[in-house]
Chain A
Amino acid sequence: MNAENGSGKESASPLVIRDLTVAYHRKPVIWDIDYEAPAGRLIAIVGPNGAGKSTLLAACLDLVPRVSGEILVFGQPFRRQRGRVGYVPQRESVDWDFPVSALDVVAMGLYRRIGWCRPVTARYRKLALEALDRVGMAHLAHRQIRQLSGGQQQRVFLARALVQEADLYLMDEPFAGVDAATERAIVELLRNMRAAGKTVLAVHHDLQTVAEYFDDVVLLNMRLIAAGPVEQVFTIDNLRRTYGGKLALLDRVGHRMSMDVQLER
């Protein structure tokens, strides 16, 4: 409840998670996570469905309330470091029928920098166009987003994150439902980002490609199973612990906590 211990220590790590517990309707979905992300690495968050991967990202972005714990981005709370964090939400989270073009969506990444009430001027559109070019989508900048394929839509989202020129990127399933060409393009992009010293945390589903695409891996299943360099952590044993069913006990305790208000007599 009060997690005051150990704060205030300056840390250069892009993301430090201490003792994080997040609950939906009082039911904890991730328990007591402790993690420190190394800088300049591509990090995959891997785990079965319902393991709390997206929740972990949401908690890092202050989108969901925390039960306990603290999160430091480059040594400070997220609130003060918003500009240094880029976010790529899941593709299904928005209405692709919305009347905006790919360029408009990318420009949304610049709104913070543009500021209140100011229009998106030519200078910013040029920046957005450059970001689209980096993901190979410049020729489709003026298409309405519904007319893009799944992979292209994902690239638009990536461009929107790129244009923020952040140092830490949080991506929710950037490879979900994209074609092979887009997958290659995204990997290429991630490597360029790493070369530029950025840190990327991405929720990833495809176990086959984890070792190929990423440097580090975070194995998550309601609690942190293991984290570290792929070659050390991404072992059969650890995977079995991750995917070998949830800890039934965590689930049941969580259920009791969510129901307790109702069961209390």
Chain B
Amino acid sequence: MWESLDSWIAATGAVAASACALPGCFLLLRRQSLTGDAISHAALPGIVLAFLAAQMARQAGWLSDAGYEASRQLFLLAGAVVLGVGCAVGSEWVQRRGGVEPSAALGVVFITLFAVGLVLLRLIADQVDLDPDCVLYGTLENSVLDTVPLGSLVVPRALLRHLALFLLNLVLIGLFFKELRIASFDPGLANAMGIPAWLMHYLLMTMTAFTAVSVFESVGSILVIAMLIVPAATAYLLTDRLVVMLVLAALLAAASAWLGHAAALFVPRLVFPWLGYPQVTDASTSGMMAVVAGALLVAALLAGPRYGWVAQFLRRRRLATRIATEDLLAWLYRNAERGQALLPLESGRISQVTGMSRTRVRRAVGQLVRRRWIERTPDGLRLTAAGHTAAVNLVRAHRLWESFLAERLDVPAARLHESAERIEHYLDSQMLDELEAELQLPERDPHGSLIPRQARDE
């Protein structure tokens, strides 16, 4: 089912997607994600007008038929870039002069241009071979049929074009990397340092328009909009470093294009015969690429190492467990202080006394035993030497914090314990030393309990 043609389709899409993802990263960081969307909409009238202009030039005899064929692409590109950048400039003008809110100004301008494009397209439908559907969905499947020989390989022309575009973007970003970075991060600072932020802004706008328009014909505008932002957003969720983000975005874009084409081929074939429609064998490739990009974003959202929801959930749970074990440890210590070294094994009774839930107690006890901080004896639980050290530090944190609250924050004695229960888990030994120094080595906490001195691990 997967033929060599499919590989070419996927490769062409992947390179186009990567080329989009590079400027997309900067759009995302500059909070101009919607500008990419607007530019790719606004390019439509540019394309149509360029078609018209080229046609008129041919009819007027300024262009030979061969010249027309050769320069048609250039006309298209120029027209679309002009209108795409014009959209960005125009919306800024409307925003500043008209006092219109930025996103509304953008919306007004791009929708106007897009409507102009649609109207023109219908008006001159019999003169140009432009299909609005083709603008939306692209003709990735057909564009790979136009091939050129390259050594022993026969390579689609579109792939080479997209590769050149990708390299161009790469070079531009490489050349202006630090300027782009600073202009995106802090335009004011950039200006103060003599880097014209507006120039970087228009460089990025032009790059976006150029990229969008160049890959338009083969992959369609949906994919352009998706690939500009979605892989960049995914990468942004995965890393804090700009270089890594750029690389990741390009890779993610390529991966979503490849997987997207595969999904377009295989998923309908798996699902629809089962639903009773065997005639559905494939779906729109560029649409599926966008969907896969979205799926990757969701995956990053869930499984990202740092900002992922699963990771955060696990960390939160681990934190809760740690707090539970520490609370239990401190409780054991206080009991030991009162001369009650052995404690009941039963989690139910511990939970009754400490107010922690049974499962929490069980998990905490398990953790403590595993760490060898307590041991199970036939008569009950008992602190080990290591456990004693850990408990001493905790209780020290608790009582020091209570002293601090009472002395510096004038918290009434009745409310000290609760606050200290919350904070004790967050004080590291350095902070404790400082606390101790600041409070001048207090002997006893406000309740009169002895504050233990720091215990070292043996």
Contact = CB atoms under 8 A, between A and B. Distances in A.
A253 interface: yes
Interface string B404-435: 11001111101100110111001110010011
Contacts of B418: 1-3, 19, 68
A237 interface: no
Interface in A227-265: 247, 249, 252-253, 256-257, 260-262, 264-265
A31 interface: yes
Contacts of B408: 223, 247
Contact of B423 (A3, A97, A224, A253): A253
A224 B431 contact: no
A55 interface: no
A261 B422 CA distance: 14
B276 interface: no
Q: SS class of chain A's interface: helix, strand, loop or mixed?
A: mixed
Interface in A80-94: none
Contacts of A6: 414
A23 to B, nearest CB: 10
A265 B422 CA distance: 19
B426 A257 contact: yes
Given A253-B426, A253-B427, A262-B306, A32 B411 contact: yes
Given A1-B418, A21-B419, A261-B316, A249 B404 contact: yes
B426 A223 contact: no
Interface in A196-220: none
Nearest to B426: A256
B422 A264 contact: no
Given A32-B415, A68-B418, A249-B404, A262 B315 contact: yes
B315 A264 contact: yes
A256 B319 CA distance: 12
A5 interface: yes
A34 interface: yes
Interface residues of A, number: 26
B318 interface: yes
A264 B318 contact: yes
B319 A32 contact: no
Nearest to B415: A19
Given A223-B409, A249-B404, A253-B431, A260 B426 contact: yes
A224 B431 CA distance: 22
Given A97-B99, A252-B431, A261 B415 contact: no
A32 B405 contact: yes
Nearest to B412: A34
B58 interface: no
Interface in B379-413: 404-405, 408-412
Contacts of B322: 264
Interface in A27-82: 31-32, 34, 67-68
A145 to B, nearest CB: 14
Contacts of A3: 418
Contacts of A256: 426, 428
Nearest to A146: B99
B337 interface: no
B414 A5 contact: yes
A1 B423 CA distance: 11
B143 interface: no
Contacts of A31: 409, 419
Most buried by A among B414, B419, B422: B419
Contacts of A252: 431
Contacts of A2: 418
A5 B415 contact: yes
Contacts of B312: 261-262
Contacts of A264: 315-316, 318-319, 322
Contacts of B427: 253
A106 to B, nearest CB: 24
Closest 9 pairs between A and B when the two form their complex, measured CB to CB: A264-B315, A223-B409, A256-B426, A264-B319, A32-B411, A19-B415, A264-B318, A261-B315, A257-B426
26 contacts: A1-B418, A3-B418, A5-B415, A6-B414, A19-B419, A32-B405, A32-B409, A32-B411, A32-B419, A68-B419, A97-B99, A223-B408, A247-B408, A249-B435, A249-B438, A252-B431, A253-B426, A253-B427, A253-B431, A256-B428, A261-B312, A261-B315, A262-B312, A264-B318, A264-B319, A265-B318
Given A32-B411, A68-B422, A253-B423, 8 more contacts: A6-B414, A34-B415, A68-B418, A68-B419, A249-B438, A252-B431, A261-B319, A262-B312
